[in-house]
Amino acid sequence: MTRFHWVRHGPTHAKTLVGWSDLPADLSDTAALARLSAHLPDAPVISSTLSRAVATADAVQGTRQRLAHDPDLREIHFGAWELQHFTEVEDQALIRRFWEEPGSIAPPGGESWDVVCARVNAAVDRLMGHDDVIVVAHFGVILTQVQRALGIGGYEAFSHKIDNLSVTEITYDSGWRAGRINHIP
């Protein structure tokens, strides 16, 4: 059995589509970080390679073992839409379909939901074998695993809220299951 403790990185305060852009996290709420760290088990910590996830992982690591950052745990690659507000994207029909029909639709130069799911699933599968593992990642990355655990589609996965500094518990034990989703310690 492996239990994944998915932590969403600290806030960036951006009001745009932030995928692979390396925006820093605001980690000024030290009380929230202390509560988060105290809530998490004594387990290895891994994060995506983006600085907002790395810095959040550093902030909660304490004496926990640190695993190498994994680029496959990066957020959705928004391609040409990166750092644009939803309303600024030129092809409004395409961006609506991307969110309303997640699957094979991709932003120009970016990734489809199916590609993100495959990339993240492969990273998660490599982490099997730990009893517990803390994964500091991103909104879309965490939703791929909510989808996997609940056996739902992408559209239903997007209906879940994943707050910054929240914990989502996903367990694999001869099958996937979700525990608490979006828990704020």
Tell me whether residue 171 is in a domain. Answer: yes
Tell me whether residue 88 is in a domain. Answer: yes
Mean of pLDDT values over 25-29: 98
| CATH number of the domain where residue 116 is located | 3.40.50.1240
Return the axis-axis angle of helices 30-39 and 51-61, rounded to nearest 10°: 70
Q: 62 falls in which pLDDT band (50, 70, 90)?
A: very high
| pLDDT on residue 73 | 98
Q: 113 falls in which pLDDT band (50, 70, 90)?
A: very high
Rounded to the nearest integer, the mean pLDDT of the chain is 98
Tell me whether residue 184 is in a domain. Answer: no
| pLDDT on residue 162 | 98
Tell me whether residue 185 is in a domain. Answer: no
Sheet with 167-172, strands from edge to edge, namely 45-47, 132-137, 2-8, 167-172, 176-178
Q: How many other C-beta atoms are found inside a 10 Å radius of the C-beta of residue 156?
A: 14
Tell me whether residue 75 is in a domain. Answer: yes
Mean of pLDDT values over 49-66: 98
Structural domain total, the chain: 1
For residue 31, the enclosing domain spans 2-178
| pLDDT on residue 156 | 98
| pLDDT on residue 110 | 98
Mean of pLDDT values over 55-69: 98
Asked if residue 12 lies in contact with residue 23, where contact means CB atoms within 8 angstroms, the answer is yes
| pLDDT on residue 135 | 98
Q: 163 falls in which pLDDT band (50, 70, 90)?
A: very high
Mean of pLDDT values over 33-42: 98
Tell me whether residue 121 is in a domain. Answer: yes
